[in-house]
Amino acid sequence: MNRFLDRPLASYYLILGATAILVTLGLVMVLSASSVVAYVDTGSSFTLLQRQAMYVAVGLPLMWVASRLHPRVYRALAYPLLLASLAGLVLVLVPGMGVNVNGATRWINLGGPLRLQPSEFAKLGLVLWGADLIARKHKLLGDWKHLLLPLIPVTGVAVLLVMIGRDLGTTLVLLTIVLALLWVSGAPGRVFGAMVGAVVTIIGLLVVIEPYRLQRLTSFTDPFKDAHGSGYQAAQGIYALSSGGWWGLGLGGSREKWEYLPHAHTDFIFAIIGEELGLVGTLAVLTVFAALGLAGARVAMRSTDRFSRLAAATATAWIMAQALINIGAVINVLPVTGIPLPLVSFGGSSLLPTMAAIGMLLSFARREPGAAAALRTRGPGPIRQFLARRRLAAAAAG
């Protein structure tokens, strides 16, 4: 393992391999977890798989392009992406534009079954904008005012808009991004501690002022106390995990997906993984996420410019935090917040910005010390070899 990590392209291949595994697993598990619901709603078990495959078909070229962009392009995109995502968060709240599902208004209707969730793009926008801001102000960061302004007010606006739409999970991820920015930028301990305290206070207030959130917080400690009410989803998730045992019931063998477990193909897809692939399958997923987090942290540590280091660290923190919040809710160590498992859960609004962030990490990994030289000497990849053979065959036939 150490010999592999010593190679210049270790981060690049770890990110690429982990992403490929998670996206492939996502397609398989979306089909399995959604087949019953899709058949009931549309008459075909493959409807949601087809949509997810379409999102992947868009996301793969997006990730490839993102992996070829220079860091200065990401810095140029920071402000437009943040402003566009904030505008989208405002549009969600406009009557007739936003779509309300189960009391939460998070989506813009694009026509038919397609919806856009601007808060997912706000994560990437905040990563790029925050990294660019801190990188430009690095000589002034000794003054806490420059460290926190305008980072905290702008984040506050984004968090406020997200919370008006009643999305606590995304709020937690946005706050994690800001804390990661402050940590990596070398914020003084007292400033960082004060921000952590402020974040905990804000989350506490958000839980208390909404009765359903307070109910979730109290019920998650013992979901079976009200297994047919506030603890229903958490209890069904535990049933799914426990029935999977060591090796699972086999792909397609889930019982909970028969309309017992709500949102089985989105928020609780990890429970279906545990039910069908068992403890071994869930541990394998955790291992792949750990590898992705290790590679992202390695890219951040080995990046030679300040913006790349900040952006890589915060993007990795975003993906890892979201995975931990989702899995923590499924295994009942955290309250249910309704947040997807990155790269695995159904949904284009989550998948596309995540794959763009993965592409950005790949771009930075290609610029690690020694990586560019290694890329030049490895020869053409399989796609280029295939195209070259096609051109030779066409020339010979002509």
Per residue in 6-17, pLDDT (tens digit) is: 677 889 999 999
Confidence of residue 365 (pLDDT cuts 50, 70, 90): very high
pLDDT of residue 40: 92
Residues 6+ apart with CB under 8 A from 87: 118
pTM, full prediction: 0.92
Question: What DSSP character marks residue 340?
Answer: P
pLDDT of residue 180: 95
pLDDT of residue 21: 98
pLDDT tens string 119-174: 999 999 999 999 999 999 888 777 778 788 899 999 999 999 998 888 888 999 99
Nearest by Cα to 367 from 67, 59, 131: 67
Q: For residues 165 and 98, is the Cβ–Cβ distance under 8 A?
A: yes
pLDDT of residue 336: 85
Interval 56-62 mean pLDDT: 97
Residue 253 has pLDDT above 60, yes or no: yes
Q: For residues 52 and 26, is the Cβ–Cβ distance under 8 A?
A: yes
The rounded percent of the chain whose pLDDT value lies above 70 is: 89
Residue 61 has pLDDT above 90, yes or no: yes
Confidence of residue 349 (pLDDT cuts 50, 70, 90): very high
Interval 23-37 mean pLDDT: 96
> What does each C-alpha distance from 145 to 82, 199, 290 come to in angstroms?
22, 18, 35
Question: Is the model more confident about 394 or about 153?
Answer: 153
Residue 390 has pLDDT above 80, yes or no: no
Amino acid occupying residue 118: P
pLDDT of residue 102: 65
Question: Is the model more confident about 388 or about 248?
Answer: 248
Query: Looking at 56-70, 221-235, 258-272, 277-291, which range is the least confident one?
Result: 221-235
Whole-number mean pLDDT of the chain? 89
Confidence of residue 2 (pLDDT cuts 50, 70, 90): low
Question: Is the model more confident about 361 or about 194?
Answer: 361
Question: Is the model more confident about 323 or about 371?
Answer: 323
Give ∠ CA 35-38-43 in degrees, rounded to 5. Answer: 110
C-alpha 163/C-alpha 143 separation (Å) is 30
Interval 343-352 mean pLDDT: 96
C-alpha 32/C-alpha 26 separation (Å) is 10
Confidence of residue 379 (pLDDT cuts 50, 70, 90): low
Residue 334 has pLDDT above 70, yes or no: yes
C-alpha 340/C-alpha 270 separation (Å) is 10
Query: Looking at 103-107, 175-179, 187-191, which range is the least confident one?
Result: 103-107
Residue 396 has pLDDT above 90, yes or no: no
Question: Is the model more confident about 369 or about 367?
Answer: 367
User: How far from each other are the two terminal CA atoms of the chain, in whole angstroms?
Assistant: 49
Task: Please give the helix or strand (H or E) that residue 105 lies within, else none.
Answer: strand 104-111
| 45 phi/psi in degrees, rounded to 5 | -75, -10
Question: Is the model more confident about 218 or about 341?
Answer: 341
pLDDT of residue 386: 59
pLDDT of residue 380: 60
pLDDT of residue 224: 84
pLDDT of residue 147: 80
pLDDT of residue 87: 95
pLDDT tens string 200-228: 888 888 777 776 666 766 667 788 887 88
Q: Which tokens belong to 343?
A: 């790269």
Half-sphere exposure of 175 (CA within 13 A, CB side): 22
Q: Which tokens belong to 111?
A: 């026509």
The rounded percent of the chain whose pLDDT value lies above 90 is: 65
pLDDT of residue 370: 75
Residue 294 has pLDDT above 60, yes or no: yes
C-alpha 196/C-alpha 194 separation (Å) is 5
Residue 273 has pLDDT above 70, yes or no: yes
Q: Mapping DSSP to helix (H, G, I), strand (E, B) and coil, where does residue 7 land?
A: coil
